[in-house]
Amino acid sequence: MNPLETLTIPEVTEIRTLPEITSPELEMSEIHVPLGEIPAKGYLQSHVECRLKTHQQKVSLKRAFRGLQERGEKLENGNPIRRPGDVVRWLMEQI
């Protein structure tokens, strides 16, 4: 197989819905992420190191972290959201 061939990613056929908000002070946010194709033998990242540079980025991460904790969200492996890095894992699992 040519390493530049791309994998075909199936269309999304299921939309995950989250449980109803139980805390009136929680806001919800919706984002749309463009999903590109990846080479069939492309490298898949297993580690991400990132420094948040703007106040908005820091506030957004903290709000997402607190909101996921308040809602009792868990990662696919059943672990609760314990650290800000878990927010990134949770987001990746929603795609």
- pLDDT tens across 44-80, in order? 889 989 999 999 999 999 999 999 999 999 999 999 9
Residue 24 falls inside a structural domain: no
- CB 35, CB 91: distance < 8 Å: no
89: pLDDT confidence band, cut at 50, 70 and 90?
very high
Tell me whether residue 75 is in a domain: yes
Has residue 36 been placed in a domain?
Answer: no
In a domain, 71, yes or no: yes
* Residue 48 forms part of a structural domain: no
CB burial of 1-33 (b: ≥16 within 10 Å; e: otherwise) equals: eeeeeeeeeeeeeeeeeeeeeeeeeeeeeeeee
Q: Name which residue leads in pLDDT, 85 or 1.
A: 85
Assigned domain for 15 exists: no
**Owning domain of residue 70:** 55-93
> What would the mean pLDDT of 11-25 be, rounded to a whole number?
58
Any domain includes 42: no
* pLDDT (mean) for 22-47: 84
